[in-house]
Amino acid sequence: MQKRYVILIALTLLMGSCNRPGPTRGDPSPGEISQGTYLLDSWPGDGPELLWKCEGLGRGYGGPLISGERIFINGEEAGNSYTQCLDQNGKIRWRSPNGKEFVGTDYSASYPGTRSTPAVKGQLVYAASGTGHLSCFDTRSGRVIWSVDLVKDFQGVPGDFGYSESPVVDETRVYCFPGGKVNNLVALDRYTGELVWSSPVKRDFFSYSTPILLTLASREVLVGTSRNYIHVVDRLNGTLLSSYQFENIREGYEHCNSVVHKEGFIYFVPSDEQGQGSIKLKLSADGDALTEVWRNRKMVNVFEGFVVKDNWLYMTMENRKLVVLDLETGRVRHSVRAASGSIVYADHKLFIYGHNGTVQLFRLEDGIPELASEMRIRDGSGHHFSFPVIANGVMYIRRGDALMAFAVR
């Protein structure tokens, strides 16, 4: 059976589109929400001003991470993975190798390049390649502090499109999903890379999404997905606290979106319209239970992400619609014509980067989106799969080996 394409921009999460000065990957955040205020309500006819363009980053889909005055982004060149640091003018300050990158075979060879976004904590930046090479670099120099191999060191089993999750970091640890039967999920010391704990979780197959970190009343947890489950894991020791099993998930329809947490509930949008459908789950205060609240079988997308804001869930679909779901019921409240692509929220607005190269700006009025402006991305090369990133009044768009910065304030 031919696999459905699951290219994944490792968002996830948050996937680089939830960036703030000095961010920690996996901070709990209600969907793809970027930091930004006083942003333009509309753009000039040819789009917002292009501040700069940086080319030669290498092939990839993962967006940048903005941390203070530095920009971090991954790229692939000649089969090798690189993590790079740019300044606020788009100049490359350092470029460090990070093992082999995913280039694919047969069908997957049509989508080579990096998928994940680096994570920063203090003066350290963490980056993962599509072949499972995870490294820690000094943010100032790019010097390698430590590195591990998820396949060789933890008997990991990558998906058909390689590893795509982004590193998730808290104060002391880095969390990653090798996907093996024994070391399904592992926690590493973020300063040394040494193994802190390993958990079999559900011994389930790898997922292409990035987990999130939550602080509950009695413990700190990680919430993520595998092919057949959403799982809640105690970050102290890797104990599986609770799980929710998807219904009728088919091989080749692995999940690419990350879960979203808001006010004690977990939201998730899968890719298989014949199976699970979008869901809302109640997470118990101690993390020991996940209970289904509603399910909407028709609401799915592959790797375009979704936004949870106020009382609404926003998502794009392959039928070129932007759909608004009611968080209480899961029913469609509104839909408008829009590009099918990656979606983020900032300053009461939605930004969509369509697979056709169109970037659209939607204003929100009482939760209803109204198209305000659009532009075309013509620079760069390859597919239009990355998530927009908005920080400090700048919208960053990655296309292939190019990163562009637009003034949106």
Domains and CATH numbers, the chain: 14-407 (2.130.10.10)
Dihedral sign for Cα atoms in the order 6, 8, 11, 17: negative
Output the average pLDDT for the chain: 90
Q: Give the global pTM.
A: 0.92
The pLDDT value given to residue 253: 72
Structure tokens given for 184: 């399904």
Cβ–Cβ under 8 Å, residues 136 and 125: yes
Going by pLDDT thresholds of 50, 70 and 90, the confidence category of residue 35 is low
The pLDDT, as a whole number, for residue 254 is 76
Q: Specify the pLDDT at position 146.
A: 98
What mean pLDDT do residues 257-262 have? 96
Structure tokens at 143: 């010097």
Residue whose structure tokens are 């203070």 = 68
Q: pLDDT at position 218, please?
A: 93
d(CA 163, CA 128): 8
Q: Output 330-338 pairs: Cβ under 8 A, ≥24 positions apart.
A: 330/278, 330/279, 330/280, 330/293, 330/294, 330/295, 330/296, 330/299, 331/296, 332/296, 332/299, 333/367, 334/367, 334/368, 334/369, 336/362, 336/369, 336/370, 336/371, 337/371, 338/362, 338/369, 338/371
The encoded tokens of residue 106 equal 């047969």
Q: Whole-angstrom Cα distance, residue 350 to residue 261? A: 19
Closest CA to 220 of 202, 207, 203, 232: 232
In 137-251, alpha helices (H): none
